[in-house]
Structure 1
């Protein structure tokens, strides 16, 4: 079975760099590239596209709120129309850079607070997905399963690829444990290996409360801002391959 490994990338600005994107690009099969609002700039975006294209990695847009200081994790009260404009502006910028480099944007993965806001409002989610469909009907929307975003993507005629967030703890209701809580972010090798093996073998994860939670996912996400993210991504890929599965970009996973 083919499984995608994706990471949020290009989340720096100017000379500042959050993660070793060059090393990470050798491990992942899909790159969610920051589009200049919560992080990123034209030079970083161009470099990410060039790296992804050279290494056969799927290129994706990672739009967020215009909040560098808060790294896009703070909710900002934009109207629904303004949120659609923010998404179109960012994804459109990456589409232009990708086209100039002979590549194309294959997927969209929403960043932090922007994704949370869209995922709480069915009407807004459908407007955003309809906007993306007008940009490119072949877009793949990265999302968690059984969410408003997934349903809106399908309603708008877009494909979705559901995610397992290997480096984040889950609550029994399927929501992520808030980052401020102890144990919310997972960067311990043994724990991560056990979680990935459980997911691959049983399509489930053990929650923060110790319960078994079924998961429907075909892509594993590792956040680039998690400490040791390159090493964590390497562990995830090694567990996938050791289980007899293969790592492939989102479009190849959905083509199965």
Structure 2
């Protein structure tokens, strides 16, 4: 049986005249796009342009909400009351839905960004609150979760459609969370290393941590960060390595876990 996996990238992260990443090149390689919703990065024009390009290339469109933290690129931890956090998520998903409606291609999935994603990978109640919020306004959306974490447990409890994600350009702790960016080796910049590790993880059906631990998991999609300098090269190398391993790249369908 041919194995299929999705390749996604975070994008739409430019702001006004300030440019971040090469979205045009990435959209020729990936199968899904996580588009910033204007709080941690992006703006209304960037969102509209990115979503339109993704729609034209047949790339799956995802809302990528984060904390209201332009200065820290959404990577600074923040605390909100649960109701406010849920409104924060709904607000950003609504913006993505509007831009996608204008582009003629729906928002297929949700992926939380940065510190919001890291916190919800550790806190199941927080993850559930975020996912309940998006399901309120988009009941058929596919929730992309960090595989093996509290995000996956929260989505599983809700019974919604899920895509389990691993990262091409980030190192892992033994609990399946991501190594803090402040630590050496947390971000992987070498395209060949990224390609090799993704082919190995998909082949084994497991996250391989920095210590060498194998954490068995369903793998539906592989992420890379569009803001890293070698993002396009990493995307190309991951795609090549997967293809050589007999893996087909295609948009995920989403299924309960």
Residue of structure 2 in register with 1:210 after alignment: 212
Please state if 1:184 is matched with 2:186.
Answer: yes
Please state if 1:142 is matched with 2:156.
Answer: no
**Helix, strand or coil: the match of 2:107?**
coil
Cα 1:94–1:134 change in 2 (3 A) is: same
Residue of structure 1 in register with 2:62 after alignment: 60
Structure 1: segments with no counterpart, 5+ residues: none
Cα 1:13–1:198 change in 2 (3 A) is: same
Contact 2:4 2:247 in 1 (8 A): yes
Residue of structure 2 in register with 1:172 after alignment: 174
Cα distance in 1 for partners of 2:244, 2:151 equals 32
Instruction: State the TM-score, normalized to the length of structure 1.
Output: 0.93
Aligned residues: 254
Cα distance in 2 for partners of 1:120, 1:180 equals 18
Contact 1:164 1:215 in 2 (8 A): no
Cα 1:212–1:134 change in 2 (3 A) is: closer
Residue of structure 2 in register with 1:33 after alignment: 35
| 1:72-151 paired onto structure 2 within 5 Å | 72-151=74-153
Return the offset for 1:15.
Answer: 1.5
Cα distance in 1 for partners of 2:66, 2:14 equals 13
- How big is the alpha-carbon RMSD for the aligned residues of Structure 1 and Structure 2? 1.8
Instruction: Name the stretch that deviates more: 190-199 or 228-237.
Output: 190-199
Instruction: Name the stretch that deviates more: 32-41 or 224-233.
Output: 224-233
Return the offset for 1:206.
Answer: 3.7
Give per-residue Cα distances to partners, 1:65-113, cap 9 Å, x unaligned: 0110100001122111111011000010110111112111000000011
Return the offset for 1:46.
Answer: 0.6
Please state if 1:240 is matched with 2:247.
Answer: no
Cα 1:179–1:15 change in 2 (3 A) is: same
Give per-residue Cα distances to partners, 1:9-60, cap 9 Å, x unaligned: 0111011121000000111100000000000111111111111111110000
**Helix, strand or coil: the match of 2:184?**
coil
Instruction: Name the stretch that deviates more: 168-177 or 68-77.
Output: 168-177
Instruction: State the TM-score, normalized to the length of structure 2.
Output: 0.93
Instruction: Name the stretch that deviates more: 89-98 or 124-133.
Output: 124-133
Instruction: Name the stretch that deviates more: 30-39 or 148-157.
Output: 148-157
Structure 2: segments with no counterpart, 5+ residues: none
